[in-house]
Amino acid sequence: MSDAAPDAPERALVVMAHPDDADFSCAGTVALWTRAGAEVVYLMVTDGEAGGDELTMDSVEIGAMRREEQRRAAAEVGVDDVRFLGYPDGRLVPTLDLRRDIARVIRQVRPERVVIPSPERDWDSIPASHPDHMAAGEAAINAVFPDARNPHAHRELLLEEGLKPWPVPEVWVVGGPGHHTDITDVFDRKLAALAAHESQIGDIGEIEPMLRKWMGITAVEAGMPEGSLAESFRVARIG
């Protein structure tokens, strides 16, 4: 299934492990949604303070820098609400506390659609299966179901914080098979978002060919016209 003009939700929540994860995986799709009037919130589980190969800054400085980069990147695709949970980068596990903290934001935002990383390892692309990505995906899908909709889960959210349960009807898992979004018209906005991550991407021109090849292959798999670029998702509808 492909969709050149996706049925944008009224509200969507994108949950990712690190700053720049959303921009690599789904920023084109997000740009289409916000262009159609959707309200999109980004939730980064970590500050990305373990990103990069040089130990020239301490983790607090790196985290602050990457938070600001993510805010600038989000603005390039129409997202102005970016939240951070501050869990340690590189040491993420799908704990009950993390599930609660994601469920809290779900109840605050009340999205019709939640976008998450895959909790499964991709043996054909080990770098894409960073342990933090899998942990964030596992915690996020459990926060969606059953935690966010269950009044008995994390009772403090309802009894102390007044956050009523919210049943998310749909989850999109990035990189999964089944649904392809044609982002050809907004590819420049995706590139601009990625370019905002200056600490991670020295020259956007160096990775643009790789991105075009990667998303071109995805578009071909979806049967789109030659020259198209696409992002892919597994869509899970929750009863």
Residue ranges and CATH numbers for the domains of the chain are 2-237 (3.40.50.10320)
pLDDT at 3: 60
- For residue range 1-14, list pLDDT tens digits in order: 556 545 899 999 99
Percent of the chain surpassing pLDDT 90 = 86
For 129-140, what is the mean pLDDT? 96
**Nearest-5° angle of CA 140, CA 41, CA 97?**
35
For 179-203, what is the mean pLDDT? 96
How many other C-beta atoms can be found within 10 angstroms of the C-beta atom of residue 58? 9
Whole-structure pTM value:
0.95
Instruction: Using DSSP, state whether 2 is helix, strand or coil.
Output: strand
b/e sequence 61-70, b meaning 16+ C-beta within 10 Å: ebbebbbebb
Residue 87: CB partners within 8 Å, gap ≥ 6?
45, 46, 98
Instruction: Using DSSP, state whether 164 is helix, strand or coil.
Output: coil
Q: How far apart are CA 204 and CA 93, in angstroms?
A: 31
- For residue range 21-78, list pLDDT tens digits in order: 999 999 999 999 999 999 999 999 999 998 765 556 678 889 999 999 999 999 999 9
The residue whose two tokens read 């799709």 is: 29
